[in-house]
Each structure stands twice: as C-alpha cells, then as structure tokens.
C-alpha cells in the first residue's frame, strides 16, 4: 500500500468553513485517483489527512504512482490556498483491516510505513 500523510499546520487558525473547503478539494483529488480517505483529524498540530492507495478491493498495479500524483496535486491545492503544509508518502507492507470490538470498530492502517509517512510529513516544508 501507499500512504499519503498530509499535515496542515497553516490551518490551525482557519475557520471550520475554510478547512471544509480545502478538505473537499483534497477529497476530490483522492477520489479521482481511487484513493481511500482513511482519516481526517484536527489535533494540536493542525488538520491531518491520511489517504491510502491499494486498499482491497480497490488496489491497482500503479498505486504508488497514484499516491505520488495525489501528493503533488494536493501540494498544488494547498499552495494555491496559501496553506502551510507538509506531505509524507511511503509505500510498503502494512496491516489494513478492522480494529476494535463488535460494539465499536473502525478500519485502520498500521505499520512502519504509516509511521514513516507521518514523520516525513512533520519534517516536510
């Protein structure tokens, strides 16, 4: 799988509607390239978007290319919106599946590649 981690510290002071507008544009790019929006959260570092390529049954032979193209398009969108951001992208083996219990569960992607994407996004300028 290929994981795209997008940190947007430049949106910490943005309004909810500004964040929403940017997220919709990022979601459109993700959908066009058959990516899966794993998670969107807002923490103390700002909004964070995690996009995954290669999640069964929507995997493609060129998922790494699709993830790279997605990251480049997202950079263009965020730069045009004048949003400070960092993007990390990795490709490799990860666990992808449900975690939790029968009362509450969610789909997750876990592994060294996911962690490395997050670290790269934090270091990217």
Query: pLDDT per residue over 69-112, tens digit each?
Result: 999 999 999 999 999 999 999 999 998 888 899 899 888 889 99
Query: pLDDT per residue over 20-69, tens digit each?
Result: 999 999 999 999 999 999 999 988 888 999 999 998 888 999 999 999 99
pLDDT given at position 108: 85
Classify strands 36-43 and 95-100 as parallel, antiparallel or unpaired.
unpaired
Inform me whether the pLDDT recorded for 125 exceeds 80.
Answer: no
**Whole-angstrom Cα distance, residue 86 to residue 114?**
15
Query: pLDDT per residue over 2-24, tens digit each?
Result: 999 999 999 988 899 999 999 99
Residue 10 contacts by C-beta under 8 Å, 6 or more apart in sequence?
Answer: 46, 78, 82, 83, 84, 85
């Amino acid at each position: 799988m290929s994981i795209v981690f997008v940190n947007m510290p430049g949106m910490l002071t943005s309004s909810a509607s500004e964040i929403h507008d940017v997220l919709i544009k990022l979601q459109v790019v993700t959908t066009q390239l058959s990516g899966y929006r794993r998670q969107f959260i807002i923490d103390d570092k700002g909004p964070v978007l995690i996009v995954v390529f290669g999640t069964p049954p929507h995997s493609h032979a060129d998922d790494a290319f699709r993830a790279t193209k997605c990251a480049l398009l997202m950079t263009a969108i965020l730069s045009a919106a004048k949003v400070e951001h960092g993007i990390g992208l990795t490709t490799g083996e990860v666990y992808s599946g449900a975690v939790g219990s029968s009362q509450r569960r969610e789909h997750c992607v876990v592994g060294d590649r996911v962690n490395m994407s997050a670290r790269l996004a934090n270091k990217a300028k």
